[in-house]
Amino acid sequence: MKLKCLASLLFLTTTIMSCAQQPNQKNVSDQKLTMDLTVDAAKFSKAIAAPDAQILDVRTAGEFKSGHIANALQANWLDPKEFKNRTKHLDKSKTVYIYCQSGGRSASAQNALLQEGYQVVNLEGGMSNWRMQQMPIEGGATKLQMRVADFDKVVQSNQYVLAEIGALWCPPCRKMQPIMDALKQTPPKPFYFLAVDGGQDIDVMKSVKAEDLPTFILYKNGVEVWRKVGVAPKEDFEKAFGL
């Protein structure tokens, strides 16, 4: 009887201690999870100083062109398809430093990326606060669009043309850049690589019905003969080129 009572007392004591410890352990975990997920402009600036920093602007293309943080990628949070297609090419092994105009959209985007397994740090106050702190900004200068007539002239006056519709701030476009560089080193002749700014040359994009970035269109004697949208291996292009 004494042994039974002792066992019951030991069980009760262990249970009480366990219940008492669990909230503290959860709090520690929660604190670790939320620590530094939002930082001020000074800390953000210091964190993105590394040359391989992964920076993401979740504003619209128009907002991005009005001025952005150097080396930032862009994926519009308000366009679910665009945001998903572009952010899936981010590197999960590296922190994503995210921002919008005032911090609201980027906070929502941050939560979505955290659920996908990314490590994400949000800029407190967004670009508004960044500007107030007089941090450096790129862009904002006016650039003329490529005319559809000029695009058509290049396509019609060259036997082979590869139109590359993309942008430096587009994650999948940047992922394709090494492949494009390699192809340009040993292209079939005669061959013309025509770069179209996916955030600027809107009229050209509409004329060729390019809705996603990047889009690659191969023309032969002025006629479209091949098209590829998104990330693709070098072999796909070599096959299309007839290499």
pLDDT digits (tens, 9 = 90+) for 108-124: 999 999 999 999 999 99
pTM over 0.85: no
Residue 202 lies in a domain: yes
Q: Which residue has the tokens 């105009």?
A: 101
What is the residue range of 166's domain? 148-241
Indicate which CATH number applies to the domain containing 42: 3.40.250.10
| Cβ count within 10 A of residue 78 | 13
pLDDT bin (cut points 50, 70, 90) of residue 243 is low
Distance CA 26, CA 23 (A): 5
Residue 204 has pLDDT above 80, yes or no: yes
Cα 146 to chain centroid distance, Å, stands at 25
Distance CA 86, CA 63 (A): 17
Structure tokens at 155: 């396509």
Mean pLDDT for 158-165 is: 94
pLDDT bin (cut points 50, 70, 90) of residue 142 is low
Residue 53 lies in a domain: yes
Count Cβ neighbours within 10 Å for each residue of 92-104 and write b for 16 or more, e otherwise: eeebbbbbbbebe
Instruction: Using CB atoms within 10 Å of the CB of residue 234, give its burial: 0 to 12 exposed, 13 to 18 middle, 19+ buried.
Output: middle
pLDDT bin (cut points 50, 70, 90) of residue 232 is very high
Residue 63's contacts (CB-CB under 8 Å, 6 or more residues apart) are: 57, 101, 127
Structure tokens at 212: 């996603």
154 and 233 co-located in one domain:
yes
Instruction: Using CB atoms within 10 Å of the CB of residue 11, give its burial: 0 to 12 exposed, 13 to 18 middle, 19+ buried.
Output: exposed
Residue where one domain finishes, among candidates 73, 103, 132: 132
160 and 211 co-located in one domain:
yes
The one-letter amino acid code at 213 reads L
Q: In total, how many domains does the chain have?
A: 2
DSSP, collapsed to helix, strand or coil, labels residue 24 as: helix
Q: Quick one: pLDDT at residue 139?
A: 86
**Mean pLDDT highest for which of 71-75, 146-150, 202-206?**
71-75
Residue 218 lies in a domain: yes
Residue 3 lies in a domain: no
The one-letter amino acid code at 204 reads V
